[in-house]
Amino acid sequence: MNRYEGRRVLITGGGSGIGRATVHRILAEGGRVHAVDISEEGLAATAGRAAAEGRADRLSTAPLDISDEAAVRAGVAAAVGILGGLDVLVNAAGILRSAHTHHTPLDLWNQVIGVNLTGTFLMIREAVPALLEGDQPVVVNFSSTSASFAHPYMSAYAASKGGIQSMTHALAAEYSKQGLRFVSVAPGSIESGMTTGDGPGLPEDTDWSLFTKLAPALGQGFAGPQTVAGVVAMLGSEDGAFITGTEIRIDGGTHC
């Protein structure tokens, strides 16, 4: 399946988790990808796998802090130059921090909002001119099930993802007549750097009974990041051509 033959794709968060899985899925479908991430080590691992699979010629990478306005302006311009234009922007980069809300310092709140919500906005703002000149252009944003359902200790994260979801609707209306689609995915119960390892850094006195509603109905435990990558690939392709101004929840029925 080569739905991305000739398509030019910029993916944030391409150095780990769902972002990395999306890079490899779109490469597998014939696309040209420019992946950015704040982690150069993560990007090197992504590039290494692409090389091992014989797809290095269609992947370029660059470090980028999406919360830095000047860096985003330069980074998007560089990406458009490398790709020779832009058809798809995937805003997968994000961070998750957890704390009791009454113990949450302002700098933590601002960090989460700055990366997740403001970073997504900055990427979109800088990419829109190139996208409007692209072929069947689309932006795929990353919301979360936390935007609509309770995730304890994650108020900053939930606020950032709710903002992304609302922004996606507004942007879809604003650019609809110009043929630019905006959609979002809302993952939940997915294995990623956010949910494994250091994960969300839950408080030591976490009340785990509050998480009883966050277990997926399908399968055994969390799904792999490729589960989301497949949906992102559909949305950014011609198969998603009639989808805009909405979100797709990918959570194995956690919130059914």
Active site residues: 157
Residue type, 231: V
Cβ neighbour number for residue 149 with a 10 Å cutoff: 16
What are the structure tokens assigned to 21, written together?
């899985």
What is the spatial distance between Cα 106 and Cα 99, in angstroms, rounded to a whole number? 12
| Alpha carbon separation from 80 to 8, 32, 36, 121, 133 (Å, rounded) | 9, 11, 12, 17, 11
Q: How far is CA 240 from CA 100, 118, 167, in A?
A: 39, 26, 19
Place of tokens 């689309």: 138
Q: Could you tell me if 26 and 8 are in contact, meaning their C-beta atoms sit under 8 angstroms apart?
A: no
